[in-house]
Amino acid sequence: MDSIKIRGGRQLNGEVDISGAKNSALKLMVATILTDQPLILTRMPDLADTRFLTTLLEHLGAGISRTGDRMQLQTARLNSAEAPYDLVRKMRASFNVLGPLLARNGEARVSLPGGCAIGARPVDLHLKALEALGAEIELSEGYVEARAPKGLHGGEVIFPFVSVGATEHAMLAAVMAKGDTLLENAAREPEIVDLADCLIAMGAKIEGAGSATIRITGVDRLGGTEHAVVPDRIETGTYALAVATAGGDVLLKDAVWKHNEALWDRLSKAGADLSNEDGGIRVRSMNGRLKATDIETRPYPGFPTDEQAQFMAAMCVADGRSVIRETIFENRFMHAPELMRMGAKIDLRGNEAIVTGVEKLRGAPVMATDLRASVSLVIAGLVAAGETMIGRVYHLDRGFERLEEKLANCGADIERVKE
C-alpha cells in the first residue's frame, strides 16, 4: 500500500495545470450508455475512480480507448444490464448507470453502491426520481431491480433537499423519457451545467441547468459528440489553500473564478492575495500566517463540503480561532484526529470544529480516511516541521491526478513511497 512522504517548510512557486473535474467526468462517462454513437471526452482526469468506472462500462458493453487526456467511449450495443457488486462497491458514482440503462434497455439490475465513509448517503432520492419517471423498482439482496417495460415517461421530481448525485441521475434518465420532466430544488453545481451541456450537444433538450428548476423534454435518440470536461473546482480550491497555507505564488492554469467564489471570499478575508488572470487564477501568500476565518458548508454556490477538510488544515496554522461548521455530511471530521496528531488544536462539538491556530505543526505518521481528508493531510504536511508520512493514499488517488508531481514542480519536498 503506497504512502506519501512530505518534508515541510517550503513555499510553493510556479504553475499547476488544473485537471478535468472528477465529479463531472464520471457522469459524462455514464452518458455513453444513452447512445450507440462515439462520445469523446477531453481534459479527462486519469484517476482510480475513472479507471473503476471504465471497467464497469466495459462490462456493460462499452468500448473505451484513451490517449493522454482524450477518452473515446462507444456503446454500440449493451452486453449486460447488470452492474454487479464487485464493480459498484468501490465508488458511489457507479450507481448512476441505473437510469441510463433503464432509458435505453427498459430494465436494469444494479448493486447498491459503496464509496467514502463520510456518513449516510442514501440513494432513496435517486430511486424516487426514477419512480416519478415510471420505473418499477424492487430491492432484493443488495441490488436494485428496475423495470420500465413501456419506457420511461416525463414527470415532476421535487427533491426534498439538494442532491447533486440525484439531480444528475434524474437528468441522465429523463433525457430519453417520453414527454416533459420538471426537476425542482435541483442542484446548481458547475458539474450539473457541464453534464447538461454535453447532453445537449448529444441532442438532448434541457433548460435551466445551473438553477433550482430544470426542464427536460425527452427525445427518442441521442447521438455522439466531443466535449471538454470542466476544470476541477475542488482541485483548484485545494491547490489555492495549499499555496495560501505554505506561502508562495502559483498560477492555477485554466481554473474558473466563478466556480469557487465562496472560497475566494473566505481566503481573501484570511489574508491571501487572489487574482483572476487570462490563464487562470493566481494565488499569492507572502505576508506570514493567515488570519483565522469561519466557514459553514452549504450547497453550491455556498462553501463546498469537499473543501472543508483542506480549509481546516489551513486554519490549523492560522492566527486566531476559527469555527468550521459542516452542514452537508454528518461524519466529515474524520481528518481532525489525524491533524491533531500533528499538533493541531481542534475541539469537535457535533457538527462544529473549533480550531485554534498554532504557529507550527509537527510531522507525524498519519492516515487518510476519505478522499478529501487525505489531501488535507498533504496541506498540513507542507507546513509541518520535519517529516510527515501519509498512509492509505488510495483514497487520494481516487480524486487527485499527479498530485505529488504537481506540488513537486512548485517546490514541495514530496514523494510517493511504494510498499
- DSSP at 230: P
Answer yes or no: 116 catalytic: yes
For residue 54, pLDDT over 60 is answered with: yes
Instruction: Look at residues 164, 169, 170, 228 and name the one whose alpha carbon lies nearest to residue 190.
Output: 164
Paired with 415 in beta bridges are 5
Of 228, 256, 290, which residue constitutes the final position of a domain? 228
Domain boundary among 211, 228, 245: 228
| 292 and 194 in a common domain | no
Whether residues 79 and 158 fall in one domain: yes
92 is in an annotated binding site: yes
* Lowest-pLDDT range of 22-36, 48-62, 260-274, 366-380: 366-380
How far is 123 from 137, CA to CA, in rounded Å? 13
Does the annotation flag 113 for ligand binding? no
236 and 121: one domain? no
Are both 197 and 314 inside the same structural domain? no
Total domains in the chain come to 2
- Regarding whether 115 and 73 lie in a shared domain, the answer is yes
Please indicate, yes or no, whether residues 112 and 27 belong to a single structural domain of this protein. yes
- For residue 273, say whether it is annotated as part of any ligand binding site: no
CB 60 within 8 A of CB 31: no
- Percentage of the residues of the chain whose pLDDT score is greater than 90: 88
Query: Domain check: are 12 and 124 in the same one?
Result: no
Give the pLDDT band of residue 22 (cuts 50, 70, 90): very high
Quick one: 109 and 245 in the same domain? no
Tell me: do 197 and 280 sit in the same domain: no
Catalytic one of 116, 198, 316, 410: 116
Q: Of the candidates 120, 117, 121, which has an alpha carbon nearest to the alpha carbon of residue 369?
A: 117
Give the pLDDT confidence of 357-411 residue by residue, as tens digits.
999 999 999 999 887 778 999 999 999 999 999 999 988 999 999 999 999 999 9
Residue 267: band (very low, low, confident or very high) from pLDDT cuts 50, 70, 90? very high
Q: What is the DSSP string of 290-318?
A: PBP--EEB-STTSB-GGGHHHHHHHHTTS
Q: Which residues pair with 346 in a beta bridge?
A: 355
Question: Would you give the DSSP letter of residue 18?
Answer: P
> Is 306 marked within a binding site?
yes
Which of 209, 228, 247 is the last residue in one of the domains?
Answer: 228
Helix (H, G, I), strand (E, B) or coil at 331: coil
**Residues paired with 206 in a beta bridge:** 216
- pLDDT tens figures, 58-104: 999 999 999 999 999 999 999 999 999 998 887 878 899 999 999 99
339 annotated to a ligand binding site: no
Average pLDDT over residues 145-154: 95
Task: Answer yes or no: pTM beyond 0.75.
Answer: yes
CA distance linking residue 10 with residue 145, whole number of Å = 53
Q: Which helix (H) or strand (E) is 268 found in, with range?
A: helix 261-270
Is there a binding annotation on residue 121? Answer: yes
Adjacent-strand bridge partners of 64: 73
125 marked ligand binding residue: yes
What is the residue range of 332's domain? 3-19+231-417
390 is in an annotated binding site: no
Based on the domain organization, do 15 and 26 belong to the same domain? Answer: no
Tell me the β-bridge partners of 199: none
314 and 217 in one domain? no
- Asked if residue 247 and residue 159 are part of one domain, the reply reads no
Give the tens place of pLDDT for each residue, 268-313: 999 999 999 999 999 999 878 999 999 999 999 999 999 999 999 9
CATH number at residue 283: 3.65.10.10
How far is it, in rounded angstroms, from Cα 190 to Cα 383?
Answer: 31
